[in-house]
Structure 1
Amino acid sequence: MVSSELAPSHLAGFWLRLFDLSIILLGMLFARWLFSSPGISDELLAVWSLVAGLLTLYCFEVFSLYRVWRRGQFYQTVATTLMVWAGVVFFLLFLIYFLKLSDELRRAVFMTWVAGVAVGLIFWRWLYHSYLTLQRVSGRQQATALIIGLTPVARRLAQEIAQEPGLGIRVLGFCDDRDVMRIHGAEPGELLGDIDMAIEMASRGGVDKLFIALPMRAEARIADIIERCSNTVSEIHLVPNFFIYNLFNAAWYDVGGLKTLSVYESPIRGPWGALKRAEDIAIAALALMVFALPMLVIAIAIRLESPGPALFRQCRYGLDGKPIEVWKFRSMTIVENGTTIKQATRDDQRVTRLGRILRRTSLDELPQFFNVMQGQMSVVGPRPHAVAHNEHYRALIQGYMLRHKVKPGITGWAQVNGWRGETDTLDKMAKRVEFDLHYITHWSVMLDIRIVAMTLTKGFFHENAY
């Protein structure tokens, strides 16, 4: 998928920064007016809001919020904005309350300012994003592009651009040195011209973007084109043909002076990892408070029904396939944690009467919120399988171990879509893995919220849970 970037003019960039600073300063003025008090120094409030404003502008620069506006990924802009603002707020709290630099800032004023600024920063970004999208869809503020090479990846690139008018890219056509009759699947008139013509158009300033979509075996030809394009002002994008494969959240890394491509990478890293962790802590803490008493009652009931511990720990694979100990309420008369583990089946004699209820309602999973608080698990993610099952299925299902590129979860996309319980056939496990990998490649905070909501409404009870 291609992502468009808006590189605003210096004047536009100035206004973007001015809007942010104004919202922060005016937000404090509004909070001060709303909670008028003679004990608050206007000069002190002005100083704190200015410090917050300048620090926020700097952090927005670090996270490229003034340079990158991606069509279809506005939620990332929202998440980054809120994360930066939260960081600034916590820094101010540290200065104000922990270092005791001020005793005059009332909580009501501070909280109103924090909330008001958060809403203001997101609201004007939404307006600006909507304006840019409308401009691009209507044909204005569009960048012209040529695609060098009439290859399968070039056609896919053109299709992606055509399906996303909000990208603001208008493809003028394909350029290739080969005759159209020699190109498999090519139609007469599909070629705009040869590569020399594309470079000539770029050198005259008639093309904003040049996409080089030649096969990687044409290394010498690609190097020659890139060198010749160095005298143009067009953006030059190299589209390697290995991107037609599913590289599973591929990411570039710096290794010394070289760039390397990690082909199997988690999307939950960097600031997104911090956001996911904050989400986990908030939900897990709330769940433990709500279920503290029920968990105590369940533990006592388990001990009274059958001999053995109320809780048991089973070894599972966690992030990056590293072993973790997952906590559960004991629902069977035996505890299995070896190299061979038999899955529970319908009317399984090992399951206790209370255990059957716990498994049906997923209440046996409640202790895993402690795993979440410890950082071993996430609230939402692929369900952790027993080590014995992992070792069995990794040789049978392509991409099975990619499930471990994120932390395992208490609930997941596969579970809320009905793929839970006994996997007595290979197809059932393959389907569960398919949904798990879909979750990883499409992860977002909104998807997590959706899965939690689906779990609360229909995910606790399922006919396959026994």
Structure 2
Amino acid sequence: MPLVDGAAALVAALVAYAVRFGSLGSGAWWWEITHQPAWSVLLLPVLWVAAVAVMRGYETRFLFTGPEEVRRVAFAGVSVVAAVSTTAYAFDLQVARGYVVVALPAALLLTLVARYALRRRTHRLRRVGRRTATTLVVGRAEGIRDMVGQLQHAPQQGLQVVGCCTTSASLVGPGGVVEELPAPVLGGFDDVVDVVRRDGIQTVVVLPCAEMDSLRLRRLGWRLEETTADLVVAPGIAEVAGPRVAIRPVAGLPLLHLERPELRGVRALVKRVVDVAGAGLGVLALAPVLAVLALLVHRSGPGPVLFRQERVGEDGRPFDMLKFRSMVDRADERLGELMAGNEGNGVLFKMKGDPRVTPVGRVLRRYSLDELPQLFNVLRGEMSLVGPRPPLASEVERYGQDMHRRFAVKPGITGLWQVSGRSHLSAEESERLDVRYVESWSPATDAMILWKTVGSVVKGKGAY
């Protein structure tokens, strides 16, 4: 990775030199090492790689992670700007400002683009089982089952579970039946280090449980220092709090501080302003497209152009969600005869090749064009551009207490469920993603989801 960053910085330096001082073909300027601008061309890659290293941008745990990787590279760029400015002022150096203005932003942009390409390639390899870290999960059976399921659903993270260590008691289910786990049991809590050494484990994930108290966890960490395995501890509130959890040292103890979610106030106002502006501009820009789609739906068969369905929104208030009609008229009357072919998640009916879907509707659904009328729901204040999936009243009836958390914000046209699998997700996975969004909401999260939605819609993955 340092070579990639250094190459990006060198290209940026050469481009900046050409822009500021003329064509690269004007002479053997690269050999004129006494010439200050030429020195800057050679020096920038070194400074750039050093800055990224100081910001820990080459540590394995931050590579190919997305937002955290981008943040550290961006901080490195800011640090280089600060270092150049301070050094130039302190030593009264004549630095070509035009060169710096072009070189540093170009180095940041090229680095991010190169890392993005490498991240995409690495994620593709990890999905087929390459460039992964062998992982051992330690905890009780119920926690192991949930953790393995989540890691298998996110293979791009690169943690390939090869086994687990647990207690015999946690394997016994109701009625004394020994339950199976999605990963082979390689030992108990006292066998973790031996398993790591024997099987070459690269990452150990420890789940919260009574048996693994602070003293035992600390001793495990000491023993793992003798190996090359990384130790990762999953706090008990990670699923609920997400990014709002921060380590706060108190009296020498690393306590977890749970920050309040910013669901109201200034940031919520900013979200609403972005929603109105985005939906308004979207309606204006897509007006010709909306008109053409409405005409196609009208000609696809009898029935209304817009399909209205009651959904449950913010604070549990019902509203009519709008869609372009993608099925034949009175499609609900034929639902009973098709239930045997339901491929949905147990709540919503989904069926590949649903005979009720019109040819026009099939195209609309594949690329989510049927959801464009929901921009008007956003303008009416019933929905947001990004948010949890708007549920049916029948879904809400079976919700537990935790699932009502999703009603703390407006439902969205897109959300984490949209960029994480869409129709391929189970009901439990969709609901967990909705709660996770509420707990970890931020403007950056919305921007990331909107960006990924474009790719999901263009590819048409998980939609039918």
Normalised to the residue count of structure 1, the TM-score between the two structures is 0.50
Normalised to the residue count of structure 2, the TM-score between the two structures is 0.50
